[in-house]
Amino acid sequence: MHPIRLGLVGYGKIAQDQHVPAIRANPQFTLVSVATLGQPCPGVDNFSSLADLLAHGPQVDAIAFCTPPQGRFALVQQALDAGKHVLVEKPPCSTLGEAMALIDEVGKAGVSGLFAWHSRFAPGVANAKAWLQGKALKQVRVEWKEQVRKWHPGQTWIWQAGGLGVFDPGINALSIVTELLAGALFVQSAELSVPGNCQSPMAASIQMRSGEQVPVSAELDFDHSDNELWRIELHSDEGVMRLDSGGAQVSIDGVTQGVSEEGEYPAMYKHFARLIADGLSDLDLQPLRIVADSFFVGSKQTVADFHE
């Protein structure tokens, strides 16, 4: 079977740092074309739009989308109309309604789709799933604090309506928690801190509860200057497991555990290849639904203006 011929839409920081290296390291894929309005991707054909890529580029079997969520629905729909498998970076769309519609459209197109919650593929997540088996979970605590100027320099779309603000990184933590907890997770309250010159929150404090009545708290900050923190603590009746560095490191009751050395994006693209081979899709919406619920029930306070 020949490698999956892949097109990439959007060639910003996340595509350059994560997607392209993972694609090129996987023999199941070959990157043949990129659609971008910015700097071109070396070694492949570059186009100014997805329409141009589809009309004039080399044949592709699948397309990965790394554009901002605003306006992404129409682009993914265009690829589905052309009969292409799709991988959609998180969050899949800027609204829950658009993402729900994409699930229907993937089914109608008869192709494979993946909503790419890449943090679920962090090596420690598999450890946590195995460790939780047979244990009674008592509490989950999330601290997800990073510096937006470092990870998204000059990307003003994050602060616009639909850009999600602190939930752009925070949704990664939510995707891990919803992977680990059985059933739905419900937002009880949320406090959102919105800079006076932005439309999306800089920080959030969320209280949730699982269907099994396990309390889950999340403290999110997108303007955390020192000692960035990506931590999830799972408190059970038999001890505490802690995932650090976004799930790359694991400890149980303070004792470091061994984890796979495979990175999130390489594992995610392996999963995408399996979905295509098996004619399946993986289009979970729980992380985005929790974000939507947080906006719906959350109280908002205005904080100091944000300046790059």
In tens, the pLDDT along 61-107 reads 999 999 988 899 999 999 999 999 999 999 999 899 999 999 999 99
Task: Give the pLDDT mean for 164-178.
Answer: 95
Cβ-based burial of 82 (10 A; exposed 0-12, middle 13-18, buried ≥19) = middle
Task: Tokens for 18, please give them.
Answer: 């994560």
Residue 163: its pLDDT value, please? 85
**pLDDT given at position 173:** 97
Residue 183 confidence (pLDDT)? 87
Chain mean pLDDT for the chain: 95
In this predicted model, what pLDDT tens digit does every residue of 136-160 receive, in sequence order?
Answer: 999 999 999 999 998 888 888 889 9
Q: Is the pLDDT of residue 161 over 90?
A: no
Which domains does the chain carry?
4-117+265-282 (3.40.50.720), 119-261+291-303 (3.30.360.10)
Span 214-226, mean pLDDT? Answer: 93
Instruction: Judge whether residue 16 has pLDDT over 80.
Output: yes
Q: Which residue shows structure tokens 């492949």?
A: 44
- 308 has a pLDDT exceeding 90: no
- pLDDT of 212 reads 87
3-class DSSP state of 58: coil
Give the percent of the chain with pLDDT over 90. 87
Could you tell me the pTM of the whole model?
Answer: 0.93
CB atoms within 10 A of CB 244: 17
Tokens found for residue 213: 């009545």
Residue 201 backbone phi and psi in degrees, to 5: -75, 145
In the numeric block, the tokens 């495979």 are attached to 262
Asked whether residue 1 carries a pLDDT value surpassing 80, the answer given is no
Give the pLDDT confidence of 245-271 residue by residue, as tens digits: 999 999 999 999 998 889 999 999 999
- State the catalytic residue, choosing from 13, 84, 90, 270: 90
Kind of pairing, strands 239-244 and 229-236? antiparallel
Mean pLDDT of the region 220-234: 93
Residue 128 has phi, psi (to 5 degrees) of -65, -40
Cα dihedral 301/308/288/23 (nearest 10): -170
Farthest CA pair distance, the chain: 59
- Residue 90 known to be catalytic: yes
The contacts of residue 2 (CB under 8 Å, 6+ apart) are: none
